[in-house]
Chains A and B, each alone.
Chain A
Amino acid sequence: MITLEHVYFLTGAMFAVFALGRALDRRSARRWRSAAFWGTYALSFLAGSYLPDLLNGMILIVLVVLAASGLAAADDAAPVAERREAARRNGNRLFVPALAIPVVVLLLTVSAKHLHIGNAALVDPAHTTLVALAIAVLVALALGCALLRVPLLAPLREGRRLMEAVGWAAVLPQTLASLGALFAAAGVGRVVGALVTQAIPMTNGFIAVVTYTLGMAMFTVIMGNAFAAFPVMTAGIGLPLIVGRFGGDPVIMSAVGMLSGFCGTLMTPMAANFNIVPAALLELPDRNGVIKVQIPSAVLLLAANTALMAAFVFRR
């Protein structure tokens, strides 16, 4: 059976090659620091499941310190003229590997239930999409190398170039998710929920609805994740007030409440994988460039969600 562990191993191997590539580049400044950073991240993927918690924590601290000390800049891309020439040569074959990724993911997710080796499932049913993504990448890579005439080491060199353009931001989403676990363990949610309910007098259903939707969005902005906000706001305001005191419908409240939280996700740098990483990936000079574009849509949608809940939650 192909499990998440195999995918971690593949990812770790890739980062190890990136680290090696950087270490071997004698001309680059800060090459050892960068090589150490990607090497440490590789170690986390390769060995994270077997190391004691304390060592995994030390890995995280080493990554943070290396990131703070400054990493090497990414290599330059191949010159435009060279890429134009390659584009002319390769033509529409270029789209085959690119579209192979979604196609293979689709096929594997749909058919995973029916694929078996002996009695065991081919793909770990708990992590179908992640395993499917990894397989799709290998298929696309094979197609790319077969169809396109590029230097043999190009995928790894160009992959490292893109990864180094993203830089330490690559590790940020995972670190933020871990911060969420620390917040939960320390009981941050309970304290915030109690503060909000004390501060606002809940005299009618409309005020409760507005407090709930805005609270979902604001708490998501702080935590970077609507999943962390939902239990806190729903236990603090949603169930006792909207449903309990004012007789609202729990289904409408939850569904629209969660989507109000998603509006918060669009507005916060804490949701790094959606907001900060794409800015790095698209090489925007402003780290918050994506958030700035999203804020107007998010605010309007939050208003729409609040109106929707106020109009329907008490109708049933």
Chain B
Amino acid sequence: MLVLSGIAIVILGFALRLNPLVVVGVAGLVTGLAGGSSLTGVIETFGRAFAENRYVGIVWLVLPVIGLLERAGLRERVQALISTVHAITTARVLLGYLLLRQITSALGLNALFGQAQMVRPLIAPMAEAAEERRGPITAATRMEIRAYAAATDNIGLFFGEDVFIAIGSVLLMKGFLQQSGYVVAPIDLAFWAIPTAIAAFMIHGARLLLLERRLKRARALAR
């Protein structure tokens, strides 16, 4: 039971809005000590895992490119282009991206797009500009549209990638079931991800249309 104290620290820390990095560091030390390791043993386990997980930080390599393009006017160019296309709305931009993200992830190309390389430089500015074209928008509305852009990327990725047979989670399931004495084919696991993929598109898509309706109402009210 004592090993659960780390979970309690994490929940408490996030609830009190302490610096998450500190919360996680303390939770790790406490969990390791409660699990019976020595202090140096915990620091070693933590350090080894930190070094092994460095691949998570590789995505930051794209920032100099994105920064360069933004300095050279990428956002402003996106805005200028969007303002010339009358059929474009925030919901249509995000619906299109949701579909694109789901399909490419289902084909195993989950690294093709992402928050740093696609949402920040292109998708979020497009979604913002589509609304701004129809009149000035408040800071709160801009932030809401950005949050929806980020959410759309996550949902498209999560509920597309499992349709691909060689993705990590499908292989994890296959391996775990095999260890437990059940031999299953990855293709069957991938097949049963399709209904949820369709449900995800319909549910999040409907919420994007609702966002559009809210934006429209706010516009009418502002007039």
Contacts from A to B (Cβ < 8 Å)? 4, 7-8, 10-11, 14-15, 41, 44-45, 48-49, 51-61, 63-64, 67-68, 77-78, 80, 83-92, 94-95, 97-98, 101-102, 105-106, 109, 127, 129-130, 132-134, 137, 140-141, 144-145, 148-150, 154-163, 168-183, 185-188, 191-192, 222, 226-227, 230-231, 234-235, 239, 243, 250-252, 254-256, 258-259, 262, 265-266, 269-270, 272-279, 281-286, 289-290, 292-294, 296-297, 300-301, 304-305, 308
Given A97-B68, A254-B177, 15 further pairs, Cβ under 8 A: A56-B50, A64-B25, A77-B70, A86-B72, A86-B73, A98-B74, A133-B111, A144-B72, A155-B67, A179-B31, A239-B180, A278-B119, A279-B147, A282-B124, A308-B195
Residue of A nearest to B66 (CB): A162
> In the complex where A49-B51, A182-B32, A273-B56 touch, is A11 in contact with B61 (Cβ < 8 A)?
yes
- What A residues does B19 contact at CB under 8 A? 67-68, 168
CB pair A57 B72 closer than 8 Å: no
The interface centre, meaning the residue of B35, B43, B44, B173 with most chain A CB atoms within 10 A of its CB, is B173
- Check if A226 sits within 8 Å of B45, measured CB to CB: no
With A94-B72, A101-B65 known as contacts, the answer to whether A185 contacts B112 (CB < 8 A) is no
Q: Is the CB of B61 within 8 A of A10?
A: yes
B218 at interface (Cβ–Cβ under 8 A)?
no
Q: Which residues of A contact B144 (CB under 8 A)?
A: 293
A54 close to B44 (CB less than 8 A): yes
Contact yes or no, B155 A101, CB < 8 A: no
A185-B35 CB under 8 A given contacts A57-B50, A308-B196: yes
A57: which of B44, B58, B188 is its contact (CB, 8 Å)? B44
3 smallest beta-carbon distances between A and B, as pairs: A158-B67, A87-B73, A57-B47
| Cα of A227 to Cα of B175 in the assembled complex, Å | 12
A297 in contact with B151 (CB, 8 Å)? yes
Which of chain A's residues have a CB closer than 8 A to the CB of B159?
259, 262, 301
Contact pick for A284, options B31, B62, B143, B200, CB 8 Å? B143
Say yes or no: A144 contacts B184, CB within 8 Å: no
Which of B52, B66, B159 is packed against the most chain A CB atoms within 10 Å?
B66
**Bound Cα distance from A68 to B151, whole angstroms:** 28
Q: Is the CB of A154 within 8 A of B71?
A: yes
* A269 in complex: contacting residue of B20, B22, B46, B52, CB < 8 Å: B20
Q: A148, B173: Cβ atoms under 8 Å? A: no
Q: Tell whether, in the assembled complex, residue A281 and residue B120 are in contact, meaning their CB atoms are under 8 Å apart.
A: yes
Q: Are B7 and A222 in contact (CB under 8 A)?
A: yes
Is the Cβ of A175 less than 8 Å from the Cβ of B63?
A: no
The tally of CB-CB contacts under 8 A between chains A and B is 403
Q: Bound complex: CA of A305 vs CA of B193, how far in Å?
A: 10
Q: Chain A residues near B172 (CB, 8 Å)? A: 227, 230
Identify B147's interface contact among A58, A155, A230, A293, CB under 8 A: A293
B147 with A90: CB separation less than 8 A: no
Q: Is B115 an interface residue (CB 8 A)?
A: yes
Q: If the complex has contacts A8-B54, A57-B43, A109-B109, are A297 and B62 also in contact, measured as CB distance less than 8 A?
A: no
Closest to A272 in B: B20
- B58–A133 contact, CB under 8 A? yes
Q: Which of B10, B40, B65 neighbours the largest number of chain A CB atoms within 10 Å of its CB?
A: B65
Check B63–A297 contact: CB distance below 8 A. Answer: no
CB-CB under 8 A from B143, the residues of chain A are 284-286, 289
Please report the C-alpha to C-alpha distance between residue A163 and residue B60 in the assembled complex, in whole angstroms: 8
14 A–B contacts, CB within 8 A, in A order: A11-B57, A14-B61, A54-B40, A102-B113, A157-B67, A174-B56, A179-B31, A182-B42, A183-B6, A183-B7, A222-B11, A230-B169, A274-B154, A293-B151
A316 to B: closest C-beta gap in Å: 11
